[in-house]
Amino acid sequence: MGKPQPGGAGSSEKFTLTAHQEVGADVTLHRLLELCFTEDERRLEEYDTRLRRPRLVPGIARVLFRLVPAGM
């Protein structure tokens, strides 16, 4: 069994940039952020509301969501 070649079959190089092409779903950055907000709310609702919630990354994501056009 040989060593995998860069850029060959099974390569993880630039996977996150090209994976959407393999899935076949047309996912935009705007839609991805929207899905992340929904999933974040769903997961955090199980915990006591008195606990501190993440603020930095969700805040950055909200700013991006407002700035990025819906089609992008």
Domain housing 67: 28-72
Tokens standing for residue 63: 């700013």
| pLDDT tens per residue across span 33-61 | 999 999 999 999 999 999 999 999 999 99
Please state, in angstroms and rounded to a whole number, the distance separating the CA atoms of residues 69 and 5: 38
Averaged confidence pLDDT in the chain = 79
Whether residue 70 lies inside any domain: the answer is yes
pLDDT at 31 over 60: yes
Q: Are 65 and 28 in contact (CB under 8 A)?
A: no
**HSE, side-chain direction, 13 A CA sphere, residue 10:** 4
Distance, in Å, from the CA atom of 69 to the CA atom of 72, rounded to the nearest integer, reads 5
What is the number of structural domains in the chain?
A: 1
Does residue 37 sit within a domain?
yes
